[in-house]
Chains A and B, each alone.
Chain A
Amino acid sequence: MNELRYLPSGDSSLIIEVGNKISENINKKIRDLVYCINKAKIKGIVELIPTYSTILISYDPIKISFNGLVEKLKEVEKNMKEIKLPEALVIHIPTLYGGEYGKDIQYVSKHNNITTKEVIKIHSEAKYLVYMLGFTPGFPYLGGMSEKISTPRLKTPREKIPAGSVGIAGSQTGIYPIDSPGGWRLIGRTPIKLFNLDREKEVLLKAGDYLKFYPIDEEEYKEIEKKVKSNEYQIKKTILEGDN
């Protein structure tokens, strides 16, 4: 991996460039760096935005200068090896595939010459890395989908896709956090809310987490939906095996 680059982004933000491509290794380094920077509690840092291959750090220039901050960040970088980094979390997403909830699953199976059962198996077998969040509140950019189920977007986007819809666009998969228009091929829906203002933690995911979908039936869906509504549902989280 190349040396980190520190680039100014105006007088109140800087960008740490970790790499210039989308890769799990680069993103893992970003997750570790974010952890260490947060832990260092550098005076003047306002917030961090981790993305695919860079971290944007916004800071208060009244409290710290650009050069001062870069110096502190280089120290953090140097001391990283001595810090025990936390393992990545896998968030398990119960998903009802097909039917009314995933109208395009037949299209996806036909497009790829496989059965819908196989689509479900392939989609729910993989672990997907949350590279970053953006686009709409809580929307995860996921990596790691098999090319065996990749499908082009709809030519004409739908006007309203319900929150929780799980879809495929090209070789990407994703979940809609809020009702929104969109052109993804819908294969299922989760009763879990990625973005919920009534919850203490409004956004479920963070960059660096992994997602795993698991199939449920309609009965389970309704049950979980009820529990989610009354804030009783415990989302299953495990530690990623083989990390670190």
Chain B
Amino acid sequence: MGYLKIKNPGLLTTIQDLGRIGYQQYGIPVAGAMDRYALELSNILVGNNRYEGVLEMTFMGAEIEFNINTKIAITGANMKPTVNGENIEMYKTIYINKGDILKCNGLIKGCRSYLAVSGGFDICKVMESKSTYLRAKIGGLKGRKLKPGDKLKVNKSDYTLGVRKIPKDLIPEYKDEITVRVIMGPEEDRFTKKGINTFLEEVYTITNQSDRMGYRLDGEKIEHLNGADIISGGISFGAIQVPGHGEPIIMMADRQTTGGYTKIANVISYDLPYLAQLKPGDKVRFEKTDISNAQNLIKKRESKILKLIDGFKKEKVKPKGEIRNFKIKFKGKTFNVGVQEIK
């Protein structure tokens, strides 16, 4: 079986899929890709299940040697990827030959890049997911981030897969200052009117103490009505907690399952991928919207994705005719090569 060899893992590269679903009731965080949209697009490009495990590379990407002929795709943050020194396109299926070296050469925009390999990684699932949850050291490769010398086994890729490309209107544009839309609550009534105005009018900066678990924000303090503590309750992706110090924390993929701070609002699902691409120093503002608007945005995008997948499926590369065998002499050695015409 073929594999990938990690020559240099970059800053923080982990295997992530959609995360552990159904285990939060037992205190197990979901984990999974921070940017689920980029995760899906990368998988679609290589013919995988939309939520297959991929590599999430943070800030500084990896250098990887391929010990397999396969197809890959990179989405999310632009880390100037090259294969054997040549620039490659993002949001497009890339054919990889055994011995090729993929390298990331710096960060242009965004924060997290997603590398999908056709067929997916051949690793055991832990509680139905391949996602790495670093704090409890579960999932992914031994529950940790990748390090130099790691070998990741890869499943067989789909040989009928042609070159796919994501249309421009579906490729997100990342900025270092964004506005995300929120749905107010569930504890909106625990803040003063002034506090809510502060939250919706001020600009907040992502601090250095931000990671896969949560984004700590720096900015104008948000005033509570009567203290910041509530009885511990469940926390959803994008929930904005405001502890006693008044500065918001946005709960992300590795968030703990429950918490005891008031939540002023929740970032809408459609905007979460943009938020996941912010890095320390970037700025964010919050804009109020309603649930039906937020749910419509998600539905619209979903139908676009389904249409895209349908279109790709029709473009399958079909082999034509028999496999013909040839003997090839190269550098004194003789090779048997099978050739089949494809459409």
**Chain A interface residues (CB < 8 Å from chain B):** 7-13, 15, 20-22, 46-56, 58, 61-62, 65-66, 132-139, 141, 177-178, 197, 202-203, 205-207
Contacts and interface: CB of A to CB of B under 8 A. Distances in A.
Nearest to A207: B25
Contact of A132 (B236, B258, B268): B258
B253 interface: no
Contacts of B186: 7-9, 15
Contacts of A61: 269, 294-295, 298-299
Interface residues of B, number: 39
Contacts of A22: 231
**Most A CB within 10 A of own CB, among B23, B183, B186, B266:** B186
Nearest to B258: A134
Contact of A48 (B25, B266, B269): B25
Given A11-B268, A11-B295, A12-B269, A134 B232 contact: yes
Contacts of A53: 231, 233
10 contacts: A8-B266, A9-B263, A11-B183, A47-B22, A55-B234, A56-B234, A62-B302, A66-B292, A66-B295, A205-B26
A196 to B, nearest CB: 12
Contact of B236 (A10, A135, A137): A10
B293 to A, nearest CB: 9
Contacts of B298: 11, 61-62
A7 B24 CA distance: 19
A56 B185 contact: no
B32 to A, nearest CB: 13
A22 to B, nearest CB: 6
A62 B238 CA distance: 18
Contacts of A52: 231-233
A9 B258 contact: no
Dominant secondary structure at the B interface: mixed
Nearest to A65: B295
A11 B231 contact: no
Contacts of A46: 21-22
B26 A202 contact: yes
Interface in B21-67: 21-28
A9 B266 contact: yes
A10 B266 contact: yes
Contact of A51 (B127, B258, B295): B258
A132 B268 CA distance: 27
Nearest to B181: A11
Contact of A8 (B25, B185, B231, B257): B185
A178 B136 contact: yes
Taking each of B183, B231, B237, which has the highest tally of chain A beta carbons within 10 Å of its own beta carbon?
B231
Contacts of B26: 133, 137-138, 202-203, 205-206
